[in-house]
Amino acid sequence: MGTIADSSLWERARRVLPGGVSSPVRSFRSVGGEPFFSDHGEGAFLYDISGRRYVDYVLSWGPLILGHAHPEVVEAVERAAGSGLTFGTPAPAEVELAELLVELVPSVEMVRFVSSGTEATMSAVRLARGATGRDRILKFDGCYHGHADSFLVKAGSGVATLGLPDSPGVPSALSALTSSVPFNDLEAVESVFGRFPGEIAAVIVEPVMGNVGLIEPAEGFLSGLRELTRAQGSLLVFDEVMTGFRVALGGAQERYGVDPDLTTLGKVVGGGLPVAALGGRRAIMEQLAPTGPVYQAGTLSGNPLGMAAGLAQLRVLERDRPHERLESLTGELVDGIVRAATERGLPVSGVHVGSMWGVFFTEGPVTDYAGAKQTDTEFFSTYFRECLKRGVFFAPSPFEAGFMSTAHRREHVEMTLNAVGESMDAALEG
């Protein structure tokens, strides 16, 4: 996996960055070997510093729905940079992007921009607590809502990948205010409401789980959450950092017909730059300072480069409406991987929703975190390394979703499936 140039840079990185990386999911710790260092991306491909090319299904962990270096996004960023990198005052692009989000996302009436998904979700919880006067939140096992203290209880993403317990550094008094139950289990949700009547400020959920692989909501699960929270006076928060604009133009709430009280957005909304947003009903959003008492702030929130990138990307999606083609192509990829595994006698379960997808090497269907943990992680590690040798870059973890972009074509999927078959054979022989 690593070249001499990569290894030299890797040694330098480990001397100055914890684990050699700026985010744990990039470390390859769970799959073995050293991560490659990227030089540039182009369309469906990522190129490392040695010039090797990979068909990319990580896509910077989801933001690049148009592929790498889409010319309209790049041009928009270059044009914005020429006018200044940050102002510290309101700017027109903030208003334009906020208006577009209100237009596209069914439940959103007002928007507050931030710089990361973690900022969006932790602000959503603070706002929910302030608006309801309650302290407790409810989340779901394996859902990952960023690394804020309230969320590192039975979390997914890098926490699941690295097999870490609930993180040290989180005060027990704070984590005690977070209840976590299995995804797709409405009875467990009802039980928590029964134990803590009048105490739960919000239920926060990834409407499609993307941080333990990909898990779909069962029929009636999201609508059941809507009914329960409304009856209990709690807020429903959809974490659409991953699903926003990917599973449908209006996100999971459009796809499943369920309107939450608050929505967090990230990844696609920033076009590849660090942009996220919190949105929701006007009466709740106006509880944020300066119109309300719930304080939240950020020096670089609404950064002009990020606003330009997000606007350009979302306008392309709004104009081209690629979601049907993306979903079809994503289905071809998942079906091909499942077919290849089945032909070789491997237990396998695969699913896709919009341009998000996941494959577990275990018998399916997988409906919650406990089921996802049954995947064959040892086989996956070897399979991942073999795919990488053949120029296919999947997420370096069995507990992450994969992504498709508009730059991917059928020939890229065919190339990938050829590599998948060879990689499975090599992994089985090894």
Decide if 144 is catalytic: yes
**Tokens describing residue 414:** 């065919």
Out of 54, 57, 141, 144, pick the active-site residue. Answer: 144
Q: Distance between alpha carbon 48 and the CA centroid of its chain, in Å?
A: 23
Out of 6, 139, 261, 267, pick the active-site residue. Answer: 267
- Contact (CB, 8 A) for 48 and 385: no
Strands 262-265 and 276-280: antiparallel
131 class by beta-carbon count within 10 Å (0-12 exposed, 13-18 middle, 19+ buried):
buried
* Residue 170 vs residues 153, 333, 377: alpha-carbon distances, Å: 9, 40, 28
Out of 6, 48, 56, 239, pick the active-site residue. Answer: 239
Q: In the sheet that 53-56 helps form, which strands lie side by side, from edge to edge?
A: 38-42, 45-48, 53-56, 392-393
Decide if 389 is catalytic: no
End-to-end CA distance of the chain, in Å?
A: 16
What's the CA gap between 388 and 213, in Å, rounded? 19
What's the CA gap between 261 and 108, in Å, rounded? 8
Active site residue ranges: 144, 239, 267
